Each structure stands twice: as structure tokens, then as C-alpha cells.
Homo-oligomer: A and B are copies of this chain.
Amino acid sequence: MDSRDEAETVQTSIIRSTGFWAPPDVITNAELVASYNAYAKRFNEEHADAIAAGDVPEVPFSSTDFIANASGIERRHVLEKSGILDIDHLVPRIPPRGFDDISVQAEFAMRAVKPALEKAGRDGSEIDGVIVASSAQQRNFPGLSCEIQNLIGATGWSFDLTMACASALYGLNIANAMIRSGQAKRILVCSPEIMTCINVHSRRDVHFIFGDAASAILVEADDGTPGGWDVLGTHTQNKFSNHLRSDYGFINIAERTVDPDYTPGLDQDGHKVFKDVVSFAPVVARDLMAQIGLEPEAVHRAWLHQANIRMVDMIAKRILGRDRTLENAPSILEEYGNTSSSSVVMNFEKNSEDMKPGETGIMCAYGAGYGVGAAAIRKR
């Protein structure tokens, strides 16, 4: 809530704590390739005549070398392994739940929310607002954020937002604005990313890219309590592109009245996405740095979204103005794959404890849209 009559002071924001969770089920590249290739072999055998006639394209085989070279990913944590590897499905097995049960994605989010609240010593009832910021939410309504608000015992507001792999930093940006405007004092930004339900595991060019993980960021008005990270500034920018697209959504039912076989996929022109994002993302981060007077050499570390190791190399170098090292731009890609917007928060949490008070870092996430989010933070 805010008013034109209130005292015109600006609250500044801090990241009080973060949390993340990656499920225990792991799929290695070898396991994924074995499953995918079994699917491809069966498909090609079943469609041999049509393939020979040129009516159906042959499904190409995958390999662990191809995946490692294309992405740098070695394995990924997933919510449900058996369904993804089952060539009759290639999709996680998730039993539908009743209305009285916690929903799958809210439960997934809570695995990251609880540690974030615990680290901050906060009870959920102290939270003013809950933002679910993720690539997708599992239902139209009620809002997933509203369910999480209820689960933690908060009584304020909540809403869901999406901006693909940058969602978490869009949530942080909004939380920062709401705190600075005086609308709220404590906001939880949750990113439960169940990307293995969005991925198409029957397509060689994308079958390996995603893993599942959840993250949470507790953003608070600075009340003088020590600890946490000052939010020096946040910034987001978008440029429309169709080169990474997932058309799954509520109008598909209407589209199938016209084309009963219509099946939205996951469409990616990887080379174009690479080229576009490697150009665009560093500009957004550098714009933020310029506006707050932060020189590249003063940036101790960049926590980047994890999609592709060469992308991390190039974006890190352009943001930092120096070659990437494991210390100045760490990677968690090998272990988790692309976990959409939770990735940058996991990367931060796993690679920030060694930093000293006064040291500054840049979080930068980029993805479909295109949307790029950046945040400059300083250890307190």
C-alpha cells in the first residue's frame, strides 16, 4: 500500500537470504542418451517406409559427446526420473492430486522457501508478499503464489509472474521496486522450475538441456540488521524473439478444434539464441553497472544463468572486462543443466560464502523472450 501523503523516504532493499533445492533423482548423459537412442531406433524402425519415401524425417541419434560439446552439461537433477527415461512417455510421471493436497509445484517451491526463511530467522507470517517467478505455473488459478502464501502463514499479497529463464531476477526487480516505493518490507521470490515437463525429450537438439530445481530469495527493506547483501540496483530489458518458444497453453484446446493433431513443442534455434543472447545480456548488465557507477574491475564475481558453458564464458568476459575464471564466474551447469530461473540463485548461493563484506557481484539471467535481468549486490 502506498499513498501520496506519506513521508517521501526511500527504503533500500537487501537480499536477506536465499534457498534452493534440487531433487535427488539424477539422470546422467549416458542414461539420457541410452533412452533417447532407444526411442529414436524404435521410431525409425516403425516409420522405415515413410522415412525411405521421404515423408517422415529420420530421428537422428544422440551421444554423450554431442551433449557435452554442445552444452557442458554432464547430468541433471529431475523431479521424476523413470517417466523421462521410459521411451513410451519421455515425460515425468506425476500423479494428479486432489484439491485438498498440496500441489506439486507448491511442494517443490517449499523445499527452497523453508531454508530461505530458516536462514533469515523469519517466520512466514512476517512476509508481506509472495511472488512466484518461474517459467510456468502449473494452473491458471488459484495462483501458486497464493497457495505458498497460505503454506507459510503469510496474510499479505501474492501473484505469479513469468519471464522464462530470467523470471527470478524479474521477481527480484519488482520486489526491489515495491520495497523502495514503500509498498512492502519483506518479499519472498520463489522460482519452482519443473522444466522436465516443458522439455521435449524426443528431440535431439533439446532433449538434454533442462533439469529441475527450485530457488527462493528473501528480499527485505534494510532495517539496519547486519548480514545479507545490499541490492545496489536491479535492471531488466527485453527484445522479442521466436527462436526459443514453448506454445503449451490454455488456447491449445481451441486450436485442436481446428487441427486435432496440434501439439505444441519446444522449438529452439540454438545458434541464433546463442548469438543474440551473448550480445544482449552483457549490455543489460553493463547498463545497470553504468547507472550505479560500478566499474567492471570492481565486480568481484558474476553469477550467471546456466544454459551453455560457452555462453557463460563469453557473457562473463563481456560483463567483467576480463577472462572468465572459475572464481569470477562460477558454473553449476555440469551438475544441474539449465534449471531455468532458479539457476542464477543456486549459482549465487553455492558460490558466495567466501566473499567478504564490501565485495560486489552481479547476478545476470537471460533466456526466452528474450528477457534479461541483472542485479548488483554487495556483501554486508
Contact = CB atoms under 8 A, between A and B. Distances in A.
Given A248-B250, A250-B136, A254-B92, A368 B142 contact: yes
Interface stretch (A32-40, A57-65, A234-242, A317-325): A234-242
A177 interface: yes
Interface centre among A10, A92, A250 (most CB of B within 10 A): A250
B238 A143 contact: yes
Nearest to A175: B177
Given A162-B141, A181-B180, A1 B288 contact: yes
Contacts of A9: 8
Contacts of A293: 3, 5
Interface residue SS majority, chain A: loop
Interface in A101-126: 104-105
Given A105-B251, A242-B99, A139 B257 contact: no
Nearest to A83: B257
A12 B5 contact: no
A164 B142 contact: yes
A104 B139 contact: no
B89 A250 contact: no
Interface in A44-99: 80, 83, 86, 89, 91-96, 99
A177 B170 contact: no
- List the number of copies, as a whole number: 2
A244 B141 contact: yes
A158 B371 CA distance: 8
A157 B264 contact: no
A354 interface: no
B3 A292 contact: yes
Closest 6 CB pairs of A and B: A150-B240, A141-B368, A140-B246, A180-B181, A94-B254, A177-B181
27 contacts: A1-B233, A1-B291, A2-B177, A2-B180, A80-B254, A83-B257, A94-B257, A95-B255, A99-B242, A105-B251, A136-B250, A137-B162, A137-B249, A139-B246, A139-B247, A140-B246, A142-B240, A142-B244, A143-B369, A146-B163, A146-B238, A157-B170, A157-B236, A159-B162, A159-B371, A176-B181, A177-B178
